[in-house]
Amino acid sequence: MISIETLEKQLTEYKKDNEEKLEILNKLTFSYFDVSLEKAMNYGEIALKLSKKSNNQKNVADTLANIGVIHDLRKNYEKALEYYFKSLNIRKEIGDIHEIATSYENIAILYLKLQNYKKSTEYLNNSYKLAKEINDIYLIKNYYKILSDIHFIQNNYKKAFKYYKLFSETKDAIFNEESNKKVAETQTKYETNRKEKEKEIYKLKNIELAKANEVIKNKNKELEIHREHLNLINKILRHDLTNNFAVIHSAVRLFKDLKDEQYLIEINKSVHKSVELIQNMKDLKNFINSHQNLKLYYLNDILNKIIIDYPDIDFNIIGEGKVLADEKLNSVFENIIKNAIIHGNADRIDINIKNNEKKCEVEIADNGIGIPSKMHNKIFNEGFKYGEKGHIGLGLFIVKKAMESFEGIVSIKDNKPNGAVFVLTFRKVG
């Protein structure tokens, strides 16, 4: 983060009013929120004049919102509302849905501070509707938390507990998504660095030195991957347990107030969930240690790339999931889908991804000619063929072997009214 001193020095370098100068003024306004509200207001007012001069309505709306925050921090709530509403009206003219939803949320929080719970709920619901429209999970999370606070203040403990649980679950989902993205980014970064280091090694004239570097590189690779996997497990464990304990703490408090045994049931569920989580993380750690060659794959990314090659087929993908696998995962889906289309004469394929505590299950159902039930136990055998041309079954042995290398399972069952359903069961990640 750039220091206040650096920003103020940069500001003096701009003799003319422009977008860059306005950006520095806004950064100074933010920086002074926790240092000096008087200086924050000075920079905010200068930024407002400059944004109006530039006739950029988005900048005007953002600067008005910043000044509203300063009044809010000064506990001058009525003045803060005035600026929030000015900012909201401009954002409505622009049509920026995310910023409109953010304005609604800020106004809802202010009405909560003013103890106007009706108005607070009204603007909070407006924010939630827009957040759902654009699928902004962060605004949705805030909605659950603020609504929980409103109900708690009004002694509506059951609703407060309901929305607090939704807040906790949403926060948990955000954390898991961000953690998995970081793991994937780390893996990509590592692969890039690996290739660059390999090129350097090839340039070395001393063969013995190259061999020594190769050994060191492999050891570092193993340590780095192991460290990243352990970090992921520890983050998930710490975060999920914290959320479970928060639910337990809230339920204990509500049980003391209401004497409702439903909250004891919630406490028991959270305790069991925590115990299962610890065991799941232990199993995942053991699995990772014995499968160092596997990496994280997002199933929807793999499937979406494959179905592009079949524009005439009606695909329907429900759900999402992530698994530990290797490059053979593409071949698994490609073989099953190709069999259904080319040899099964299917023109529709439904893919359903389901997750439970330990497994991720993928059902691939087609409306083709199907495979007789008597053949289900043989279809994955090496060299087995079936059909008029003897092609149905080719590649399914490869599917079986690939799934076994991931410690997964593949099976088949009949689809209704016709066709086949292939079921792939993976170990769930996260």
pLDDT in tens, 250-263: 878 888 888 888 88
Number of domains in the chain: 3
Q: What is the pLDDT of residues 307-350, one digit of tens each?
A: 998 999 999 999 998 888 888 898 899 889 988 988 889 999 99
**Predicted TM-score (pTM) of this structure:** 0.46
Q: Are residues 403 and 285 in the same domain?
A: no
pLDDT of 7:
81
Distance of CA 278 to the CA centre of its chain: 22
Among 149, 172, 195, which residue terminates a domain? Answer: 172
Give 187: exposed, middle or buried? Use CB within 10 Å, 0-12, 13-18, 19+: middle
Same domain as 196, residue 129: no
Separation CA 178–CA 101 (nearest Å): 23
Q: What is the pLDDT at residue 281?
A: 62
| 249 and 361 co-located in one domain | no
Pairing of strands 348-355, 359-366: antiparallel
Q: Verify that 143 and 273 share a domain, yes or no.
A: no
Are 322 and 360 found together in one domain?
A: yes
Boundary of a domain, candidates 172, 188, 214: 172
pLDDT recorded at residue 212: 60
Range of the domain at 60: 4-172
Average pLDDT of the chain to the nearest whole number: 82
Q: How much is the pLDDT for 190?
A: 57
My answer on whether 216 and 284 are in the same domain is yes
Residue 336: predicted pLDDT: 92
Share of the chain above pLDDT 70, in %: 78
Regarding whether 392 and 376 lie in a shared domain, the answer is yes
Same domain, yes or no: 57 and 202: no
| pLDDT band at 194; cut points 50, 70, 90 | low
Q: Which amino acid is at 331?
A: S
SS3 324: strand
Question: Which pLDDT belongs to residue 389?
Answer: 47
| pLDDT score of 128 more than 70 | yes
Report DSSP state, residue 373: G
The whole-number pLDDT of residue 390 equals: 45
Q: How confident is the model at residue 317, as a pLDDT?
A: 95
By mean pLDDT, which of 43-52, 233-242, 293-302 is the weakest? 233-242
Q: What percent of the chain has pLDDT above 90?
A: 26
Q: Which residue has the higher pLDDT, 169 or 424?
A: 424
* 415 in the same domain as 314: yes
CATH number at residue 331: 3.30.565.10
Q: Average the pLDDT over 380-406 and give the result.
A: 71
